[in-house]
């Protein structure tokens, strides 16, 4: 229904554009000094030369667009976009191999990455629109046949150059994503909508720049507007915090929910339509400074209606069908996943993210190959699921039993990899889960507390297995627990500081296992030994080294290494892993 | 003076009872004027109302009262104003420039606003007018890099775009060196061929050299409207050369050959000299201006 209404509105606006000549009342910039002249102006009808004015507006847009490329502020804006692309698109993205590096996530961030460029475009175009006033050419221009409205249209049209730059930015994002980083997953309609949103933001900035120049002709106003938009947009866009809120769609940049967006219906196309309608509203406001005729009024009414319709549609709750579809995906991830199995290693991710299993396979092949053959024969699986259930859309939450689902995952022997962790952590967690599984240590906590593996040889074996395939530096960082982000003081983990003797390897959750500091040193030591020698030693009696009774000292002695220290005492409140 | 039917059909500029006030100050007071083809000079002291009158003629300022017809079109409605502006060239008293633009880009920008929308034709026209004012060699330099005189020539160039039928020039030769002023006279006499040119200036030599007609304004009112020769003739028999300045002289100044030129009553031992335009102009308004400005 809304599409029909939208179509009617767009048709109406287009019709008004193409049939506006006969009823036009154009008002130029003749500045009368008394009311009598104002009333005389009102009688101006059937303004001639509209075609020439239109052509002049187009030419002016071309000229102003080219001038925009010489504007220092705009040039800075371009360099900012390049910097953003380099920092986030290449450096950051190449270091992230998880869900945050999916095309869906990446393209949804595109509007946010566009904001600095849009803000600077607003300032640059505002300066251009104020140029005649600033440099004293207004009097000359007032004596020329192009009306003030034509000049405004020319300035509005100069946004084409900013849109061309944005096209280049989007193309560069795609190219870098394809060629230099590990973006993966589907580019769905909502993602295309996100790209449209980024263009709509630039269009909004251009319209607002000209409108401000016409109504509040002071360059400082544009700067203030940027600040106000940043604060206001952020406030509205963040309504609801971590939880789902549709109201934030009314912001120019809504913050999408913290859970994976495969489980959200993102109305990005409607948001793009909403922003374009706002751009049109503001453009009409700019034109209305000089021209207040029926055409302008109709255009304004059409634009406001369009903005209202798009605003309404994008804040509608999701349909029952969508809620059921998402709830089914949440409840049964495997049924909605693409799985790959090779030599007993099974990796499953939702269909849209199937490509990430290739990354996982690269990471886990070496550790899996280091596991004792007997254990390996049983197979190991990683299944990707969404753990942030409390942040889902209410319509979805109503359809699932969060407690039951969490309990079932905890009790399940599969290795569940939640997508809340970013790429690096995701891979490390997979490695650790595999290492723990290889020696029968739990990969999920048995209760509210982790178990204590201090002094158990299998804890060291788990770390050795998990670090296989890494280079020496990465292995050392990994086993020391100093990998960026893995041992944040503000990690929000449920583990009391007095329990942490080894390292903490997961955030926002209770880890299944804790190590002693002495065992960490021991693990680092055996990682310096020849891998084949260690593997052969372990494989010779894998069952022994998987048993809780085998101690760190036993293992070190077997490998011919002097143990680093004595057995650490079990911290109060913990029990040894069984 | 009132407009009759014959002037209505031939004059490029017709003003009838035009008045413009700024607050309580009457800048232009009930001016009626018809100006035909050719160059008309507008003389007057500062604050005489010249610039206001020219701005009205350039359609950038609406009068408080009166009727204006330019090139056969009324300025009372937008349609008429657009038709006028298509055939109007205007150099404001203080023309602004887009300093970041090159001379070519700026004139091209004005050409777009003059509705010359065919790109190739427009560029040809821009190159033509820049060549006319002698700026071809620097047309791609940014305006901020040009001298004041060159900028003034840019202003003149944009006014010549499209060979307008009405040229309104407010002190166009200010800032030009003597050579450029002579060049300007040459191009204006060419441009004025069949066009109506209204020129405000303080340079009476320009008026004498260029104008077929001169209008002297003071206090928003026209004090003289006739030929430059007629204006000079007002001083006939009242211009004297003496060896020394007469202390009681109304206007007297030393000339380059060491003689003192007096305008007005004859000083002792003086001989009569040929009157010039500036003598007539000074006799008309000069004494009043000097008194008002307390120079004497």
Q: A500-549 pLDDT, tens per residue?
A: 555 545 545 667 888 888 888 899 899 999 999 999 999 999 999 999 99
pLDDT of residue B225: 95
Q: Which of A65-79, A473-487, B242-256, B259-273 is least confident?
A: A473-487
What pLDDT is attached to residue B8? 40
Question: SS3 helix, strand, coil % of chain A, rounded to 5?
Answer: 60, 5, 35
Give the residue, A404 or A7, on which the prediction is more confident: A404
Q: With an 8 Å Cβ cutoff, is A487 touching chain B? A: no
Percent of chain B surpassing pLDDT 70: 92
What pLDDT sits at residue B268? Answer: 83
Inform me whether the C-beta atom of residue B19 falls under 8 Å from chain A C-beta atoms: no
Among A32, A44, A140, select the one facing B90 at the smallest CB separation: A140
**Is the Cβ–Cβ distance between A100 and A430 less than 8 Å?**
no
Pick the residue with more confidence: A432 or A449?
Answer: A432
Does the ipTM exceed 0.95? no
Res B197: pLDDT: 94
Residue A387: its pLDDT value, please?
A: 72
State the nearest Cα–Cα gap between B262 and chain A, in angstroms.
Answer: 41
Tell me if B112 and A60 make a contact (CB, 8 A cut-off): yes
Q: What is the pLDDT of residues B144-166, one digit of tens each?
A: 999 988 999 999 999 999 999 99
At A147, the pLDDT band (50, 70, 90 cuts) reads very high
Residue B193 is predicted with a pLDDT of 76
Phi and psi at A374, nearest 5°, equal -65, -45
Question: What's the half-sphere exposure (Cβ side, CA atoms, 13 Å) at A139?
Answer: 23
Whether residue B277 has pLDDT greater than 50: yes
Cα–Cα distance between B111 and A59 in angstroms, integer?
A: 10
Query: What pLDDT was estimated at residue A99?
Result: 57
Q: What pLDDT score does A75 carry?
A: 95
Residue A240 confidence (pLDDT) above 60:
yes
Assess A108–B contact: CB distance below 8 Å, yes or no.
Answer: no
Long-range CB pairs of A532-541, under 8 A, 24+ apart, other chains included: A533/A559, A534/A464, A534/A559, A535/A370, A538/A372, A538/A461, A538/A464, A539/A372, A539/A373
pLDDT tens digits for range B186-203: 888 776 678 999 999 888
A83 touches chain B (CB under 8 A): no
Q: In angstroms, rounded to a whole number, what is the distance separating the alpha carbons of residues A172 and B58?
A: 50
Question: What confidence category does residue A390 fall into, taking pLDDT thresholds of 50, 70 and 90?
Answer: confident
For B86, nearest residue in chain A (alpha carbons): A145
B86: pLDDT strictly greater than 90: yes
Question: Are B78 and A27 a contacting pair at CB < 8 A?
Answer: yes
Cβ pair A48:B83 closer than 8 A: yes
* Residue B111 in this model has a pLDDT that exceeds 90: yes
Average pLDDT for residues A548-559, to the nearest whole number? 92
Read off the pLDDT of each residue in A421-440 and give the average, rounded to a whole number: 78
When mean pLDDT is compared across A99-108, B39-48, B128-137, the lowest value belongs to A99-108
List, as ranges, residues 278-297 from A with C-beta within 8 Å of B: none
User: Per-residue pLDDT averaged across B265-284, rounded?
Assistant: 88
Average pLDDT over residues A548-572: 82
User: Is the per-residue pLDDT at A349 higher than 90?
Assistant: no
**With an 8 Å Cβ cutoff, are A48 and B79 in contact?**
yes
Q: B197 φ, ψ to 5°?
A: -120, 125
In a mutational test of the B interface, the residue from A50, A144, A150 whose CB has the highest number of chain B CBs within 10 Å is A144
Q: Give the pLDDT confidence score for residue A2 in this predicted structure.
A: 58
**Residue A48 reports pLDDT greater than 50:** no
pLDDT of A173 reads 86
Helix (H) or strand (E) holding A226, with range, is helix A219-237
Average pLDDT score over residue span B254-274: 86
Instruction: List Cβ neighbours of B287 (8 Å cut-off, separation of 6 or more).
Output: B250, B251, B264
Region class of A491: left (phi > 0), else alpha (psi between -120 and 50), else beta = alpha
CA B189 to chain centre: 14
Residues of B in contact with A137 (CB under 8 A): 95-98
Comparing B287 with B253, which gets the higher pLDDT?
Answer: B253
**Contact, A545 vs A538, CB < 8 A?**
yes
pLDDT at residue A47 is higher than 70? no
pLDDT at A7 > cutoff 70: no
Decide which of A485 and A355 is more confident. A355
Q: How far is CA A489 from CA A65, A497, A513, A515, B201, in A?
A: 50, 9, 18, 18, 79
Tell me what the mean pLDDT of segment A233-253 comes to: 82
Residue B244 and residue B72 in contact, taking contact as beta carbons nearer than 8 Å: no
**Average predicted confidence (pLDDT) for chain A:** 82
Is pLDDT at A566 greater than 60 in this prediction?
no
What confidence score (pLDDT) does residue A14 get? 58
Task: Flag if B82 and A138 touch (Cβ within 8 Å).
Answer: no
Torsion, Cα A366 A367 A370 A374, to 10 degrees, reads -120
Q: Which of the residue ranges B83-87, B114-118, B227-231, B282-286 would you say has the lowest mean pLDDT? A: B282-286
Residue-level pLDDT at A485: 44
Compare A354 and A4 and report the one with higher pLDDT: A354
Query: Is A419 a residue whose pLDDT tops 50?
Result: no
Mean predicted confidence (pLDDT) in B245-256: 81
pLDDT at residue number A460: 93
Mean pLDDT of chain B: 88
Residue B288, C-beta contacts closer than 8 angstroms, at least 6 positions apart:
B218
Q: Which residues of A touch B88 (CB under 8 A)?
A: 143
Q: What is the dihedral of CA A365, A370, A373, A379, to 10 degrees?
A: -40
pLDDT score recorded for residue A486? 47
Residue B289, pLDDT > 70, answer no
A17-26, A237-246, A269-278 — most confident range: A269-278
Which region among A84-93, A126-135, A311-320, A386-395 has the lowest average model confidence (pLDDT)?
A: A84-93
Share of chain A above pLDDT 70, in %: 79
Q: What is the rounded CA–CA span in Å between residue A129 and residue A213?
A: 6
pLDDT tens per residue across span A374-387: 999 989 888 887 77
Confidence band for A60, pLDDT divided at 50, 70 and 90: very high
CA atoms in the 13 A half-sphere facing the CB of B96: 14
Q: Does A32 touch chain B (CB under 8 A)?
A: yes
Nearest CA in chain B to A150: B113
More confident residue, A421 or B191: B191
Please determine, for residue B66, whether its predicted confidence score (pLDDT) is greater than 70. Answer: yes
Pairs of CB atoms within 8 A across A/B: 120
Please compute the mean of the pLDDT values over residues A551-555 and round it to a whole number. Answer: 91
């Amino acid at each position: 229904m809304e599409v029909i209404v939208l179509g009617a509105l767009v048709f109406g606006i287009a019709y008004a554009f193409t049939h506006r000549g006969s009823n036009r009342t154009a008002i130029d910039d003749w500045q009368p000094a008394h009311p009598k002249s104002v009333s005389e102006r009102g009688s101006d009808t059937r303004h001639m030369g509209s075609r020439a004015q239109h052509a002049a507006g187009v030419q002016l847009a071309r000229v102003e667009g080219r001038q925009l490329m010489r504007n220092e502020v705009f040039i800075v804006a371009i360099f900012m976009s390049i910097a953003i692309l380099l920092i986030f698109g290449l450096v950051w993205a190449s270091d992230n191999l998880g869900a945050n590096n999916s095309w869906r996530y990446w393209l949804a961030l595109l509007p946010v990455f566009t904001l600095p460029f849009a803000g600077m475009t607003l300032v640059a175009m505002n300066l251009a629109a104020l140029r005649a006033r600033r440099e004293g050419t207004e009097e000359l221009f007032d004596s020329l046949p192009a009306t003030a409205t034509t000049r405004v249209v020319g300035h509005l049209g100069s946004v084409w150059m900013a849109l061309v730059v944005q096209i280049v930015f989007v193309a560069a994002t795609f190219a870098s994503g394809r060629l230099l980083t590990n973006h993966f997953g589907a580019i769905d309609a909502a993602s295309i909508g996100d790209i449209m949103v980024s263009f709509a933001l630039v269009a909004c900035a251009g319209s607002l720049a000209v409108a401000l120049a016409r109504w509040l002709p002071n360059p400082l106003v544009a700067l203030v507007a940027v600040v106000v938009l940043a604060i206001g947009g952020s406030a509205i866009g963040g309504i609801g915090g971590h939880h789902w809120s549709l109201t934030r769609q009314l912001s120019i940049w809504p913050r999408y929910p913290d859970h994976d967006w495969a489980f959200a219906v993102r109305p990005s196309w409607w948001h793009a339509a909403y922003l374009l309608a706002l751009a049109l509203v503001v453009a009409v406001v700019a034109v209305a400074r000089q021209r207040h005729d029926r055409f302008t009024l109709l255009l304004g009414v059409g634009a406001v209606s369009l903005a209202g319709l798009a605003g309404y549609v994008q804040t509608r709750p999701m349909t029952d069908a969508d809620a059921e579809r998402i709830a089914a995906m949440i409840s049964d991830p495997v049924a909605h996943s693409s799985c790959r199995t090779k030599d007993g290693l099974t990796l499953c991710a939702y269909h849209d993210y199937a490509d990430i299993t290739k990354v996982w396979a690269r990471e886990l092949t070496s550790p899996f190959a280091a596991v004792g053959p007997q254990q390996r024969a049983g197979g190991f699986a990683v299944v990707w699921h969404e753990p942030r259930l409390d942040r889902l859309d209410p319509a979805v939450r109503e359809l699932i039993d969060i407690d039951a689902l969490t309990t079932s995952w905890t009790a399940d022997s599969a290795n569940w990899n939640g997508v809340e962790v970013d790429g690096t952590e995701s891979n490390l967690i997979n490695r650790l889960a595999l290492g723990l599984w290889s020696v029968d240590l739990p990969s999920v906590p048995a209760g509210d507390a982790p178990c204590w593996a201090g002094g158990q040889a299998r804890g060291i074996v788990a770390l050795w297995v998990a670090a296989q395939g890494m280079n020496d530096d990465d292995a050392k960082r990994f086993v020391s627990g100093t990998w960026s982000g893995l041992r944040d003081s503000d990690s929000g983990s449920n583990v009391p500081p007095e329990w942490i003797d080894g390292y903490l390897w997961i955030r926002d959750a209770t880890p299944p296992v804790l190590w002693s500091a002495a065992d960490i040193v021991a693990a680092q030591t055996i990682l310096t030994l020849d891998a084949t020698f260690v593997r052969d030693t372990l494989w010779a009696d894998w069952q022994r080294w998987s048993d809780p009774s085998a101690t760190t000292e036993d293992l070190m002695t077997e490998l011919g290494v002097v143990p680093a220290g004595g057995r650490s005492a079990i911290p109060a409140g913990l029990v040894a892993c069984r | 003076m009132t407009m009759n039917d014959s002037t209505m059909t031939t004059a490029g500029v017709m003003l009838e009872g035009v008045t413009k006030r700024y607050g309580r100050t009457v800048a232009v007071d009930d001016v009626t004027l018809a100006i035909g083809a050719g160059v008309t000079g507008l003389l007057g002291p500062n604050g005489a109302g010249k610039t206001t009158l020219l701005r009205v003629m350039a359609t950038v300022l609406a009068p408080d009262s009166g009727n204006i017809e330019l090139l056969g079109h009324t300025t009372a409605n937008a349609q008429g104003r657009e038709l006028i502006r298509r055939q109007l060239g205007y150099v404001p008293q203080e023309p602004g420039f887009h300093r970041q633009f090159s001379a070519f880009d700026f004139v091209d920008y004005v050409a777009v606003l003059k509705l010359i929308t065919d790109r190739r034709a427009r560029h040809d026209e821009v190159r033509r007018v820049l060549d006319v004012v002698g700026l071809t060699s620097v047309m791609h330099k940014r305006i901020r890099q040009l001298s004041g005189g060159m900028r003034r020539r840019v202003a003149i160039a944009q006014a010549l775009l499209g060979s307008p039928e009405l040229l309104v020039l407010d002190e166009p030769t200010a800032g030009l060196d003597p050579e450029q002023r002579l060049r300007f006279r040459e191009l204006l006499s060419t441009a004025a061929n069949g066009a109506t040119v209204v020129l405000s200036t303080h340079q009476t030599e320009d008026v004498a050299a260029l104008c077929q007609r001169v209008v002297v304004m003071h206090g928003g009112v026209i004090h003289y409207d006739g030929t430059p020769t007629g204006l000079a003739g007002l001083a006939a028999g009242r211009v004297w050369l003496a060896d020394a300045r007469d202390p009681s002289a109304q206007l007297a100044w030393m000339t380059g050959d060491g003689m003192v030129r007096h305008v007005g009553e004859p000083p002792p031992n003086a001989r009569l000299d040929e009157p010039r335009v500036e003598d007539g102009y000074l006799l008309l308004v000069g004494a009043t201006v000097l008194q008002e400005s307390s120079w004497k």
